[in-house]
Amino acid sequence: MANIKLKDGSVRSVEDGSTVLELVKQVSNSLAKKVLAAKMDGKTVDLMTPITKDAEIEFLTFEDEDGRWALRHTAAHVMAQALQHLYAKDGIQFAIGPAIENGFYYDIDMEKKLTDSDLKDIEKEMDRIVKQNIPMIRKEISRADALEFFEEKGQSYKVELINDLPEDALISIYEQGDFTDLCAGPHVVSTGKVKAFKLQSVAGAYWRGNEKNKMLQRIYGTAFEKKEDLAEYLHMLEEAAKRDHRKLGKELDLFSLHEEGPGFPFFHPNGMVIRNELINYWREVHRRYGYQEIKTPMIMNRKLWETSGHWDHYKENMYFTQIDGEDYAVKPMNCPGGMLVYKTHVHSYRDLPLRLGELGLVHRHEKSGELHGLFRVRNFTQDDAHLFVTPEQIEKEIQHTIDLFDEVYKTFGLSYTAELSTRPEDSMGSDEIWEKATAALQHALEARGLNYIINEGDGAFYGPKIDFHLRDSIGRTWQCGTIQLDMLMPEKFDLTYVGEDGEKHRPIMLHRVVYGSIERFIGILIENYAGAFPVWLAPVQVKILPITDKHFDYAFDLRKKLFDLGIRVEVDERNEKMGYKIREAQVKKIPYALVIGDQEMQDGNVTLRKYGEKDSQTMSVDDFIKLVQDKIASKEEKY
């Protein structure tokens, strides 16, 4: 008998040689219908894996990342089997077919060039294979047998993969009816588990990602446990395509990207309105929360970056220059400059916590293939702050910071989840310091009652961090805010404060950002609002539409009145039909369009058409002004 410890701490005994699936059924038959894979002593395995010794086993469902991975990996094999059935005569060769985030793909090599229309035929064959509920059978074979099998099948890419494996590597294959693939697994028990799938696109991909190798065809797809979840995901993708910030950024004339500066965005007047409103709001919130604003240089010498550790740990992401024969670096982060500002004064414990905020322009060397609109750029403004605290103030200051985050994210209608990231491999400092810093962050989260997950090894090189993942209006998540606890840089820069005992002590430093990158946050907001910004953020808040030129004087008098009150307003004086003008105001997503005709002039009123609404309403100018001012002051999302 083998003794198995489950995740809840309970222990079950099973006969040696029993499968993990038999164990699951022993626990619960209803659970067995949901479990897709398992972790045995930390390693993800198939449910048909035999149990041969005492072990710790955790059952994995679609709610678990590794459970989703197993289902989607199997979906890739189902697709490969369908491709074999349909295109064997075309001499199809299979390369690799892994699960990936949100789906799977398979790289293939054949003469026939697949198009999106072919995906329907492949899906039909996949559906037939799923209904057959073919078992996924794992077999371990020798290198010689594996080579013989795939050479006989004419699968040269599989042969290459086998030859590249270490001599002592364990080689496994998976059989599903008439299809056999070289694969380490794991998979679900049978093809019947892949009930909800969709093939999405065909793209080109170099074999092994090397442009010197042959270009293969890559078929992308996704799979879910339930059809309703798949439908929801596909709807989200449709919405995301409509909301693409690069597309809307061009249509709404917010920003542009140019070959003359790849990764360096150009903001247009409309985009600058949004940017400046975000900065104004940032300053107003931070003033209330006790921050002081600083500004530090963009270029500083090599010695500073060596002291901070960036020269050794972040050099590949930095830009460099020389001044008077000395090495300088363009700053990728604001923190070293904040250290120097702190050191200009002698500080007492009475000065702490000291909160120094900076809207600092930073530059980072991102690879050209990774650049993506405003989401991945080479220069951006980081809404940084560095908080200098005593050890006793750590938890209270983290709570104070999360209070600020709550207020800001609520303003934009964004909820969040928290993630605690621990020590990475490339880091500096002792284990003791890291354990102390990580425990402080963990205790602050737990004291606040915040649910969080632990992301092992993803901290900054100088300390652990809490990341805040924002959920937008269509359910996507974005990592924006972060709080990083740093006990190392104060040591490196010899920062001190005078304590109550009159002695010098070392402060603790918290790095934190709310927006993260202002550029990226703007991209997120464009997609969150689908370009229809709340009134306070809208580049043009009011568009006045005079029906004919005899209404121009009234329209421009109204424009001046609104403009003088700080409202962003334009007059559409073009000789176009009113229906056209109204439609264009809607296309440009302007919150309020005001139609001006004879009746409005006579009564001193306006006819208001709100964005996204078909009906109009007539109101006095004063009532309209109050409406706009209230929406701006409240930062309300609705018009």
Active site residue 382: yes
- Compute the radius of gyration of the chain from its Cα atoms: 30
CB 602, CB 550: distance < 8 Å: no
> CA torsion angle for 226, 232, 238, 240 (degrees, to 10)?
-120
Those residues whose C-beta lies under 8 Å from the C-beta of residue 308, and which sit 6 or more positions away, are 335, 336, 339, 489, 492, 493
φ/ψ (deg, to 5) at 575: -85, 70
In 3-state terms, what secondary structure has residue 366? coil
26 is catalytic: no
Give CA–CA dist 429/476, Å, rounded: 35
Exactly one of 187, 198, 386, 551 is catalytic; name it: 386
- Tell which residue, 547, 619, 536, has the closest CA to residue 581: 547
Single out the catalytic residue among 39, 363, 423, 511.
511
Output the CA torsion sign for 251, 253, 255, 258: positive
What crossing angle do the helices spanning 269-288 and 394-411 adopt, rounded to 10°?
A: 140
Residue recorded with tokens 């009150």:
565
Alpha-carbon distance 60 to 80, whole Å? 25
386 an active-site residue?
A: yes
CB 261 within 8 A of CB 326: no
Neighbours of 608 (CB within 10 A): 21
Amino acid at 639: Y
* Residue 364 annotated as catalytic: yes
- Please say whether the beta carbons of 71 and 194 come within 8 A: yes
266: phi then psi, degrees, rounded to nearest 5: -105, 120
Our answer to whether residue 335 is catalytic in this structure is yes
Task: Give how far the C-alpha of residue 369 lies from the chain's centroid of Cα atoms, to the nearest Å.
Answer: 17
Amino acid code (one letter) for 240: A
Q: Which of 335, 572, 586, 631 is flagged as catalytic?
A: 335
Selecting among 465, 512, 551, 568, the annotated active-site residue is 465
Catalytic residue selected from 46, 384, 486, 572:
384
Catalytic pick from 73, 286, 364, 631?
A: 364
Cα 302 to Cα 226, 324, 349, 379, distances in angstroms = 55, 13, 32, 20
Residues annotated as part of the active site: 335, 364, 382, 384, 386, 465, 511
